[in-house]
Amino acid sequence: MATMNVSLPDEMKAFVDEQAEGPDYAGASDYIRDLIRRDRARRQAIAEIRAFVQEGIDSGPAKPFDRETFRARLHAEHVERG
């Protein structure tokens, strides 16, 4: 495992220390690793949303929404699943 030194303002270090003292983390390093994991997951989710938005844009103009056809399709899918 690699080591990294990070400089923080006193206020931020106090916050990290406070979080690390709680029952959820084994120490400051554990807290920072959790923050990094969460940030990576958030960035991945944003990338997926952007890809879905682009897919929608690339699919062309919107088609009128037919509520009854939509309901019938949902019902048919539900019946198939049992």
How do the domains of the chain map onto residue ranges?
A: 11-58
Rounded Cα–Cα distance for residues 48 and 29 (Å): 29
Q: Using one digit for the tens of pLDDT, what is the confidence trace for 48-75?
A: 999 999 999 999 999 899 999 999 999 9
CB atoms within 10 A of CB 13: 13
User: Which secondary structure element, helix H or strand E, spans residue 64, and what is its range?
Assistant: none
- Percent of the chain scoring above 70 in pLDDT: 99
C-alpha 53: how far from chain center: 16
Which of 26, 31, 37 shows the shortest CA–CA distance to 6? 31
Q: pLDDT band for position 7 (50/70/90)?
A: very high
Rounded Cα–Cα distance for residues 32 and 38 (Å): 10
